[in-house]
């Protein structure tokens, strides 16, 4: 773990969410200030892992983007949330319909990168215990060089897929009861 990652993990531990998710709130993206989302989506450190983004994410684009994410909830009954850690916007993520699968997204502000595991645990718990999904997928761009972390979380590498002309690596995590049937 690099110095930055260690500092981020320590910050999340200080905030009390590394072992518990008590300081974490999942809220609809429409409840997040657009300026917070705009800052996140224009951060070059975040953009490095969002190959479909162009770095020109203004208020108009953000409002359209939030509306499209809210539509996921209306159409599919699930969608992405905004993550608040002790009341501070940390990023967004959750589930989106992607190529017929429930796809997991997790986009965090660099100041909260060390909090990803705790946030992941919470949203996976919601996926399998509350929403009853059989599996979720995750699409990672080639820039994510530490994709072995997906395997440690229980995901299985599936294949490469193309989204809007960009290649992603697809991973799948089966619900615990599905893993037992397949194992």
pLDDT value at residue 21: 55
pLDDT band at 20 (very low <50, low <70, confident <90, very high): very low
Per-residue pLDDT reduced to its tens digit, 56-112: 899 999 999 999 999 999 999 999 999 999 999 999 999 999 999 999 999 999 999
Per-residue pLDDT reduced to its tens digit, 159-178: 999 988 989 999 999 998 76
Q: Which helix (H) or strand (E) holds 45?
A: helix 44-47
pLDDT value at residue 106: 94
pLDDT value at residue 10: 52
The pairing of strands 135-140 and 101-108 is parallel
- The domains located in the chain, with CATH, are 3-182 (3.40.630.30)
Per-residue pLDDT reduced to its tens digit, 28-71: 999 999 999 999 999 999 988 887 887 789 999 999 999 999 99
Per-residue pLDDT reduced to its tens digit, 137-157: 999 988 776 778 889 999 999
| Interatomic CA distance for residues 95 and 93, integer angstroms | 7
pLDDT value at residue 67: 98
Question: What residues form DSSP beta bridges with 80?
Answer: 94
pLDDT value at residue 49: 82
- DSSP symbol at 67: H
Question: Quick one: three-class SS letters along 121-153?
Answer: HHHHHHHHHHCCCCEEEEEECCCCCCCHHHHHC
pLDDT value at residue 18: 45
Query: How deeply is 127 buried, as exposed, middle or buried, from its count of CB atoms within 10 A (0-12, 13-18, 19+)?
Result: buried
Q: Is the pLDDT confidence value at 130 over 50?
A: yes
């Amino acid at each position: 773990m690099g110095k930055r990652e260690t500092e981020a993990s320590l910050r999340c531990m200080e905030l009390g969410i590394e072992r518990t998710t008590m300081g974490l709130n999942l809220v609809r993206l429409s409840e997040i200030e657009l300026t917070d989302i705009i800052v996140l989506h224009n951060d070059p450190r975040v953009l490095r892992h969002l190959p479909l983004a162009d770095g020109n994410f203004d208020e108009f684009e953000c409002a359209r983007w939030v509306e499209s994410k809210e539509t996921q909830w209306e159409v599919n009954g699930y969608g992405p949330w905004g993550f608040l850690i002790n009341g501070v916007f940390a990023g967004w993520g959750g589930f989106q319909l992607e190529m017929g699968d429930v796809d997991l997204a997790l986009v965090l502000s660099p100041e909260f990168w060390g909090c990803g595991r705790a946030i992941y645990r919470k949203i996976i718990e919601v996926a399998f215990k509350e929403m009853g999904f059989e599996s979720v997928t995750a699409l990672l761009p080639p820039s994510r060089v530490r994709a072995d972390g997906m395997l440690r979380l229980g995901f299985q590498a599936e294949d490469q897929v193309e989204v809007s002309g960009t290649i992603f690596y697809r991973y799948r995590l089966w619900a615990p009861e599905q893993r037992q049937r397949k194992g």
